[in-house]
Amino acid sequence: MSERDSLVPESDPIEPDHDAIAIRAYSVSWLPDAWSEAENWERARLELREERELIARRAADISRTRPSGDAVDDWLLAERELNVELSMRRLHRTKTAWVVGSARAKAREQDRIARRARQISESANAGSDYENWLRAEREVNAEHRLIAERAGQSWVGTPRWLAAERELIAEGVIPLSYDR
C-alpha cells in the first residue's frame, strides 16, 4: 500500500465530511431562501453528496477508459473535468435562491403593509385608503431598515431576519406584528 492510498478514507467516499458540509451550510445560510440551521445543514449535505456522486461516476468512466491511473488520480481528473459544470450548478442554485427569496420578501412586505394599512384605517386618525397605504408603507419600510441593520442585511423571512425582528419587538423598538 502506497502512502497515497493510506490517505483515502475507509468510509463512504460519496458522503461529504463535516467541515465541507459546515462551509457549504454557512454559505447557504446567507442566501435569501435559507431556513433553519438543521435544514441548511441537510441541504448542504445533499448538494455536496450529489456533486460527489457525479464525480464518482465520472471517475469510474475514466478508470474504464484509461486503466493506467489509480483511483485518486481518476477522482482528481474527474473533479477537474466537472469543475465548470459543478460551478454552473451552484451559480444556478444561487440565482434561483435570489429570485425566490426576492419574490418571497416582496410578498411578505406587501402583506405587512396591507395589514398595517387596515389597522390605520380602523384608527381615529385614518385618512383615505391611499393615504393609509402610504403611511403604512413608510412605517413598514422604516421597521425593515431597523431589522435589516440588526440582521446584517439578511433577507426578509430568513432566520437571521426573524431573530432580529423578535429582538426589536422584545426591546419595544418596533410594534408587535400586525397579525389580526
| pLDDT tens, N- to C-terminus, the chain (180 residues) | 444 444 445 677 789 999 999 999 998 888 877 778 899 999 999 999 999 999 999 999 999 988 767 888 998 999 999 999 999 999 998 888 888 888 888 888 899 899 999 999 998 888 899 999 999 999 999 998 899 899 887 777 777 888 888 899 899 888 765 554
**Alpha-carbon span 32 to 161, nearest angstrom:** 10
The half-sphere exposure of 49 on its side-chain side, counting CA atoms within 13 A, is 9
Cell of 134: 402610504
Tell me the residue type at 160: R
Determine contact, residues 16/52, Cβ cutoff 8 Å: yes
CB atoms within 10 A of CB 123: 9
**Alpha-carbon span 110 to 144, nearest angstrom:** 12
**Alpha-carbon span 15 to 34, nearest angstrom:** 22
Residue 35: DSSP 8-state: -
Prediction pTM value: 0.64
**Alpha-carbon span 63 to 65, nearest angstrom:** 6
